[in-house]
Homo-oligomer: A and B are copies of this chain.
Amino acid sequence: MTKKGKKIPRIKDIAELANVSPGTVDRVIHNRGKVSQKAREKVLKSMKELNYEPNVMARALVSTGKFRIAALIPDPANDEYWEAPYQGVDQAETKMRQYGVVVDKFLFDQNDPLSFKEEASKISESDYHGILVAPIFYRESLAFLNRWSKQGIPFSLFNTHIPDYKPVVYVGQDSYQSGVLAGKLLHYACRQGTFVIAHIDKEIPNSTHLIRKEQGFIDYFGENDLQKQINIVRIEISEWTNKKDVYRKFDDLFQQYENIHGFFVTNSRSYIVGDYLINKNLQNIKLVGYDLLSKNLALLESGTIDFLINQNPRGQGFMGVTLLVDHLVFKKSIEPIKYLPLDIVTSENVQYYVDKI
């Protein structure tokens, strides 16, 4: 297919072929200014004939420093979970600097809606050409998304989807499908017995993520008509910082169901279940969780955690910025939803997922 030795056509070449000036070609390409019908047609014809594609670099070189993007994400200092997305944004930042794009990070405390509002306000006051935001506070976020929509500032969403105001793209997790996958992984090891869905978070009912994961897990068994063999129960632990409390809850659980064969922890805190299993010396109980936090990794190595489901959080941060830039600077058309692969991580392949994008 590739034609060797052919020179890449430039705007100037099109201009010559169409007997107009480069300026006119430019006007046709960008639909700006006035162009006579005749000229426009000639130019379009020549463009097709030469199979013109703009030179991204030359374009970017011209517009150096003209694009400013704001990233509004939780401060990783407060929660290791946000470390990876932060790094992803950071990485995209340095890459995009090359293209004349400046990315400024605005960090808020994921336990403090006020700090979110503060940082969001800062962004609104400066003028940015695009915004990447992790809208984890629904109400507070809505207000700003509304505002930015009216101002005509494009934004992309990350981690949490709020479709009300059309984002350029949502980059995040496919929660439901990850639950289905978790079901498969436990069922693969264990054809009968009781599986526990463990929600370990402050605000469980509010967290649509967790609910969707649960639904996916349940549907896996439902669809496969396996209900007779498999018993599924759920446990909610909102005060997970209180160890005694947590242990008491688990003790109760194990008294109530004697044939527990597996746990599915619906967020990154599977290490809490892992600690309990080790503490009580419970063997042969399968454990599937999420995210490559250091505590989880240790338990993965030791074999207490069998699988961690990982949706490349660093890649998510990276893609969030990258796709926004693609839309903004390079005018590419973007799919409205971007899921990264649901990676299955075990101690045998974890090396490839840590510290990589």
Query: CB within 8 Å of B: which residues of A?
Result: 2, 4, 7-8, 53, 55-58, 60-61, 64-65, 93, 97-100, 102-105, 177, 180-181, 183-184, 188-189, 220, 306, 339-344, 346-349, 351-353, 356
B104, A2: Cβ atoms under 8 Å?
A: yes
- Residue of B55, B100, B352 touching A341 (CB-CB under 8 A): B352
A344, B340: Cβ atoms under 8 Å?
A: no
A55, B349: Cβ atoms under 8 Å?
A: no
A-B contact pairs, 22 of them (CB 8 A): A2-B104, A2-B105, A4-B102, A7-B65, A8-B64, A55-B61, A55-B64, A55-B98, A56-B98, A57-B61, A57-B98, A58-B61, A180-B348, A181-B346, A183-B348, A184-B348, A339-B352, A340-B352, A341-B343, A342-B352, A344-B346, A344-B349
Q: Which residue of B lies closest to A57 (CB)?
A: B57
Q: Which residue of B lies closest to A182 (CB)?
A: B348
Cα distance A316–B100 when bound, in Å? Answer: 29
| Cβ contacts under 8 Å, A8 to chain B | 64-65, 97
Distance in Å: Cβ of A110 to nearest Cβ of chain B: 21
A349, B181: Cβ atoms under 8 Å?
A: yes
- Closest 7 CB pairs between A and B? A341-B352, A344-B344, A57-B57, A181-B348, A342-B349, A56-B98, A184-B348
Distance in Å: Cβ of A75 to nearest Cβ of chain B: 14
Cα distance A344–B348 when bound, in Å? Answer: 11
| Cβ contacts under 8 Å, A220 to chain B | 348
Distance in Å: Cβ of A175 to nearest Cβ of chain B: 13
- Residue of B100, B103, B181, B188 touching A189 (CB-CB under 8 A): B188
Distance in Å: Cβ of A144 to nearest Cβ of chain B: 20
| Cβ contacts under 8 Å, A180 to chain B | 348
| Cβ contacts under 8 Å, A177 to chain B | 348-349, 351
Distance in Å: Cβ of A139 to nearest Cβ of chain B: 29
Cα distance A68–B152 when bound, in Å? Answer: 43
